[in-house]
Structure 1
């Protein structure tokens, strides 16, 4: 897996060499959008493997070509993947590659450039979302305003099993998320140095949404 930091719910830093190699390629300013999207999807799939490591299993009977047996299956209701629009969409396909039957919720938030606060413009989730494990997806945990707002929204719907998955995190974002939602565990590929005066993660990789969709 990797190391854990933090005093509230754990922050899991995935140190697998493949994740770190792909993240390094994404950080380069010359990485084209097509390559950036592909690498993000691959890292999301690898992070999905980590964040689902402790899902409960149950034994079910099956018939192999030779004889009956009991085999493990994931227990309970299927997960909900909740990308924060728009950058979170870049992580969705990689997650669905491992969880093809997962339900998908969408949380539309944008960051006000003056206040850096999250403004909601869209929310759609399964009617029984409160009964499922929700993975909130957003490549960057910077100020954490969007992460906190998204988790607030799911908790307002009765969700009590929520995990946050990102590509990069800043110490300031981790601290704020743990302050507001100390029960929510975080999975990330790296914790960078700090935020700058514009709320960007340093050294970071720039604006993830712009780099995913080629709108920089």
Structure 2
């Protein structure tokens, strides 16, 4: 088992957010892991989106440990999913955050320390001098999906805030509510409709495939 290192003992080798977060939470060996996972081959190669999830789960795990919260196998991953997954309702997310706050986890600070796909990429290329010959198809898909997902999340957040404000001012009357944003792509040739996520996963529509 690797000996743990406190934040004060870590060398803050760069000033980017990834470096600051690694130092703050004592994530020893993180840089080596990121480079190894990013530049690996086959199933051992991770996209920067997967690496961001890896880092953020380690941040959440460290915060739970600092708060004295005992976690079982898979619990960190599930808690992170409840906090970040697009398919989780706002009610479930709020309940999860409230439970973490009751356990002494400063969830506002923890979530603000979560890093993005782009932050991982910048840290790898600018701070760690890691490089790939060129992004593979999976990397391009990951970047595109994250960009489009961020736009959908922003639309949902703005819509939710606007409705809540109207409700508070008695302009409209609504109880608890959830906002879901879905973008549909329709092929004009075969008329098949896809969500953005499905289209990226399928890598094309029915009429583009050869049978």
Could you say whether these structures have the same fold, taking a TM-score greater than 0.5 normalized by the shorter chain as the test?
Answer: no
TM-score (norm 1): 0.32
Structure with greater Cα Rg: 2
Q: Which has the higher contact order (CA 8 A, sep 6+)?
A: 1
TM-score (norm 2): 0.32
